Structure 1
Amino acid sequence: MVAKFFQKLNDYGSAIQFLVMSKCNDEAFQLAQTHNQMEVYADIIGPDATPEDYQSIAVYFENEKNNFLAGKFFLLSGQYTKAMKHFLKCNSEDSQAIDLAIETVGRANDEQLTRQLIDYLMGETDGMPKDARYLFRLYMALKQFREAARTAIIIAREEQNAGNYRNAHDVLFSMFQELKQNKIKIPAEMQSNLMILHSYILVKMHVKRGDHMKGARMLIRVANNISKFPSHIVPILTSTVIECHRAGLKNSSFSYAAMLMRPEYRDQIDFKYKKKIEMIVRRPDKSEEEEPLTSCPVCSFQLPETDLLCPECQNNLPYCIATGRHVLKEDLTACPSCDFPAILTEFSSLLESEENCPMCSEKVNKDVLQKIVDTQPYLAPSEGTE
């Protein structure tokens, strides 16, 4: 009765709702079909829908030539091949259609459908390769973490080449966490790239806090890997010269200033720094205090605090997310959100002026940081499966 009342008011959405409540699904479907309210009907039956209901809705949208909604409801009815056919007919820029195609393959676990979607994403089907992020999400949906890791490295490299260093950092970080969670060995290239990008992100933080020595040390690491920052070579080398000079690392400042004087870089130097850099090269001051030595957290050998490879035990050392230095066994903590290690006193000090973890960007209260007693999992993390 209520449904009929709303029908007279031309409020078909409410009429459909009351027909569904009265278990009159056929009438509700007919009404939706007649008055172009099928999406409303689909929303209303929601969790109570049977695969047959979803199939009827899918067929309706198929007849209406609405590929996206036909695909969506074939997916819900469990007819994955039909769903995929419709999603691949959608506009190639329709990210929702690609997302649902990825979900379809994840649910179907069908090799032929997977191959079909990979070909589509690689551009084999229409000559237009899609954003690599879709391929990454597909591999994640299929739990093919090694392929996902390779794709993540490619995506991060593209972001890095375009100068989007935070994006590149976050892509690698999220993939790192996925692999760790699934106990899969993290590729050395991913670990190394994440460390270099993280060192770059720390520079701004330390310079802003007026700690030019920490900023300079991280810039030296970045400058030694300058080929990974192709769109900002001259600005990064310029910053390295300036920060090393401020920190009293005169010899390092001279080395990078001399690099900037090469013909391919010289004309790109910012005018306001050019005279200073030329002067550093003309009147070299080779004085430089030695980098402080701290204990290797694995074998206790004394090595420079920013070195991440111990010459004694040959271990790659975990780095502190607050400073970029190798961690110290007797002063170890970890971010409560991402579980990356840090030097406790340094991380606490950083959190006096920063709110978030520099690695995962989550808010961290310094009072919850705890000293780690069982350091073994952080110093020799499980390798995971190959």
Structure 2
Amino acid sequence: MTDKTRLKTELLRDILKLRRFQDSWKICEYLNDSEAWDLFGKAAINDMDIELATRIYRHVQNSGFVNALEKLKLIEERNLLAGHLANSSNRYDLAQTLFLSSSQPLEALEMRQNLLQWSEALTLAKRLAPNQIPIISREYAVQLEFTGDYTSALDNYEKGLIGDEDLSTTSLSEDDLKSHNELCKAGISRNAIRCGNTRRGIEFVSQLSHNKVLVEECATILDSMKLYSDAALLYEKSGNYERAANLYMKVKNFNKVSDLFEKVDNKEIQSQYAKAKEMEGKYREAVKAYIKAEEWLDVVRLYLDYLNNPGEAVKIVRESKSIEGAKMIAKFFQKLNDMSSAIEFLVMSKCHDEAYRLAQSTNQMDIYANILLDYADNHELSQDFLSIAIHYEQERDALRAGKFYCIAGQNKKGVKFLLQAAALSNEDQNQALHLAIESAADSKDEQIIRMIIDFLIGETDGVPKDFKYLFRLYMSLKYYREAAKTALIIAREEQNAGNYRNAHDLLFGMCQELKRQKITVPSEMVNSLMLIHSYTLIKLWIRVGDHMRSAKLLIRVANNLSRFPEHIVPILTSAVIECQRAGLKRESLEFATTLMKGEYRDQIDLKFKKKIETLVRKSGGAHLRTGDTSDADLIHTLCPYCDNEVIDTELSCHKCRNSIPFCIATGLHIIKEDLTVCPNCHFPAILSHILRLISNEPICPMCNTTIDLTQMAQLEDFQSVLDSN
């Protein structure tokens, strides 16, 4: 502040004393200082000039003061107005004097209450408003309790209680009265306890047992005073069961702890209770408590040492994976000379060296090895598996040595032993090759892969192995093209052996895998699958009663008899019968004539043989000599690629040279105007035909899974089927 400004401020003070308010306003405007305006405002209030004070505070934008002054404009009584102005100027004693000399002395009481000056308010209430003494006493008690004057607080809470005899003097409503008395009783409860009168405090708490917060608050006070029994009782009533149980434990009231035990989740309390029960010799109760506390070692110890129940101990260790518990059980079984169980629990307790020595000395290495596989992380225990592999190598057990060398990470050495085992024993061959293939797939080692392939194709010992192993190897390595070629060979072998379902499933699965890998399915595989699938459809259409459909399928199969060497005669016989039923006499006669050849004649089922002989004899070869075309109705449908007419049984278009996908329901080529796909395997089908075929039993003839008929609808995007072909 500059000297000039200071002089102006001093001048303002002097002018205000002279009550020259117009000049004061000009000076304040010149100074433009909040302190100057505040001096001016206070001077106006002291002069009781409400209008001027309002104008000043409105100018400085003190809305709070403006609102307060606006209300005072309505007051006409001088002392009352002066009291309010003194109150606003923080001159409370003067304000009280003025209020008391006014027509509204209760304003003094209200002022003291607003100022939280409860002692002064209580003094005024005794003279001015005795009916407010209980409320003021309660508020005063709250303040005293907060400051730690519990004796005075208790006294005022008691004064605050409104009894039945005081109901006529109170202005409180029924609800407010109830709330007021509850607050007083709560205060009495707390402070009576603090002042040492615990019985009285607890008595009042009992009257307010619905107030859980108060009950726990009083329990905390008792707890701090080390009155644990009373504190525990109140903690229990408040629902704080853990603290209640903890205090009951301190005072050794185990019966109460037992009552609360199911409600307590604190592991430490549960453990303490269990130990107490164990010391009492109540082992079953102790076990239950230890289980809840998840103290598994103590559970196992009690089951073994006191309850003579090793079965439960074993169960607990298996479920909890307790290492120390496993050690304890291992020692127990060693004492019983049950070495296999001892080895298992030594492994569980991670005492692998001890388990290995025990297994070796008791000739239980197989058990140890299997247990180690079940319980261990192969990567972490490669050294343990290596020890097992060396043991089996010394025992000249090539299969197990190879297996555990692979598990230990020494794949090349392991595969050598596995191939050696496969060469030495037909019994071990399947398992040995399976393990070798797994190792090759895991390691992706080219030398190992080459070693296995050489063994499988006979380069090693001159004896080629079953192609299924080569197929399994290629699939494991994700060599899908090589796997597809091998699958064709295996399927051909299965087909030659009459295992058509196996061949079908293999080819179908391979097709699906190639599609998943976005690899074009070889046409040879598609044709093989189509032919076997046609064979499987024959019985389905015979069951439906559509002999023309089954006859056409039989004609296709019969024209490829070399692919069905185990069932040539049954196929030809069925072809003769179904073609007869369908009215395809020429085809029926052709197949009957073939059956009459010497190599097949004796194999014909006796119940059909005479009919077939009669058919051939009566025809005298007439149809064969005439040179007529087939009796079969040549139905033409459009090629889905170029719309050229193609015989429905043909699966290639002679115009556009495209291979046409076959329908999984009929074996015919698909029609784009009546096209759908199986919702499961996504193979195409002619919608009208497949709905007819599966109407009684909704199972896909290709993937053999149940079809939801509501999902079978005409496919609008037929191009996706053609693109995937």
What one-letter code is carried by the residue in structure 1 that aligns with 2:399? F
What one-letter code is carried by the residue in structure 2 that aligns with 1:353? N
Are 1:337 and 2:686 an aligned pair? no
> What is the alpha-carbon distance in structure 1 between the residues aligned to residue 680 and residue 337 of structure 2?
53
What one-letter code is carried by the residue in structure 2 that aligns with 1:363? T
3-state DSSP of counterpart to 1:269: coil
Task: Say whether the 8 Å CA contact 2:347–2:372 is kept in structure 1.
Answer: no
CA distance 1:51–1:332, shift in 2 (3 Å): same
Gaps of 5+ in 2: 1-327
Partner of 1:129: 464
Q: 1:46 aligns with which of 367, 376, 381?
A: 376
Are 1:194 and 2:529 an aligned pair? yes
> What is the alpha-carbon distance in structure 2 between the residues aligned to residue 157 and residue 214 of structure 1?
26
Partner of 2:337: 10
Are 1:120 and 2:472 an aligned pair? no
Are 1:111 and 2:446 an aligned pair? yes
Deviating more after overlay: 253-262 vs 220-229: 253-262
Partner of 2:497: 162
What one-letter code is carried by the residue in structure 1 that aligns with 2:358? L
Please state how far the C-alpha of 1:64 moved relative to its aligned partner. Answer: 2.9
Please state how far the C-alpha of 1:372 moved relative to its aligned partner. Answer: 2.3
Aligned ranges 1:272-351 → 2 under 5 Å: 272-281=607-616, 282-283=618-619, 288=631, 290-351=633-694
Partner of 1:246: 581
Task: Say whether the 8 Å CA contact 1:72–1:83 is kept in structure 2.
Answer: yes
CA distance 1:325–1:349, shift in 2 (3 Å): same
> What is the alpha-carbon distance in structure 2 between the residues aligned to residue 50 and residue 22 of structure 1?
14
Counting aligned pairs with the same residue, the percent is 53
Please state how far the C-alpha of 1:240 moved relative to its aligned partner. Answer: 0.9
Are 1:224 and 2:224 an aligned pair? no
What one-letter code is carried by the residue in structure 2 that aligns with 1:29? Y
> What is the alpha-carbon distance in structure 2 between the residues aligned to residue 250 and residue 129 of structure 1?
47
Q: Greater helix percent: which structure? A: 2
Gaps of 5+ in 1: none
3-state DSSP of counterpart to 2:604: coil
CA distance 1:39–1:51, shift in 2 (3 Å): closer
3-state DSSP of counterpart to 1:47: coil
Aligned ranges 1:337-376 → 2 under 5 Å: 337-376=680-719
Deviating more after overlay: 234-243 vs 294-303: 294-303
Task: Say whether the 8 Å CA contact 2:676–2:713 is kept in structure 1.
Answer: yes
Deviating more after overlay: 282-291 vs 220-229: 282-291
Please state how far the C-alpha of 1:238 moved relative to its aligned partner. Answer: 1.9
> What is the alpha-carbon distance in structure 1 between the residues aligned to residue 714 and residue 664 of structure 2?
15
> What is the alpha-carbon distance in structure 2 between the residues aligned to residue 2 and residue 266 of structure 1?
74
Deviations 1:116-161 (A, max 9, x none): 2222222333343321101111122222222222221111112222
Task: Say whether the 8 Å CA contact 2:344–2:368 is kept in structure 1.
Answer: no
Please state how far the C-alpha of 1:244 moved relative to its aligned partner. Answer: 0.8
> What is the alpha-carbon distance in structure 1 between the residues aligned to residue 711 and residue 395 of structure 2?
57
CA distance 1:31–1:334, shift in 2 (3 Å): same
Are 1:76 and 2:435 an aligned pair? no
> What is the alpha-carbon distance in structure 2 between the residues aligned to residue 219 and residue 249 of structure 1?
12
Provide the TM-score with structure 1 as the length reference.
0.90
Task: Say whether the 8 Å CA contact 1:244–1:250 is kept in structure 2.
Answer: yes
Deviating more after overlay: 136-145 vs 196-205: 136-145
> What is the alpha-carbon distance in structure 1 between the residues aligned to residue 615 and residue 392 of structure 2?
71
Are 1:27 and 2:354 an aligned pair? yes
Deviations 1:75-109 (A, max 9, x none): 11210111112212222442111100111222232
Please state how far the C-alpha of 1:267 moved relative to its aligned partner. Answer: 4.2
Across the aligned residues of Structure 1 and Structure 2, the Cα RMSD in angstroms comes to 2.4
3-state DSSP of counterpart to 1:342: strand
Are 1:181 and 2:516 an aligned pair? yes
Are 1:211 and 2:551 an aligned pair? no
More RCO (CA 8 Å, sep 6+) = 1
Deviations 1:318-363 (A, max 9, x none): 1111111111212222222222111222222222233432212223
Deviating more after overlay: 139-148 vs 70-79: 139-148
Deviations 1:216-252 (A, max 9, x none): 0100111122222223223212211110110112222
> What is the alpha-carbon distance in structure 2 between the residues aligned to residue 352 and residue 5 of structure 1?
65
3-state DSSP of counterpart to 1:294: strand
Provide the TM-score with structure 2 as the length reference.
0.50
What one-letter code is carried by the residue in structure 2 that aligns with 1:137? R
What one-letter code is carried by the residue in structure 2 that aligns with 1:233? I
What one-letter code is carried by the residue in structure 2 that aligns with 1:294? T
3-state DSSP of counterpart to 2:406: helix
3-state DSSP of counterpart to 1:278: helix
Greater C-alpha Rg: 2
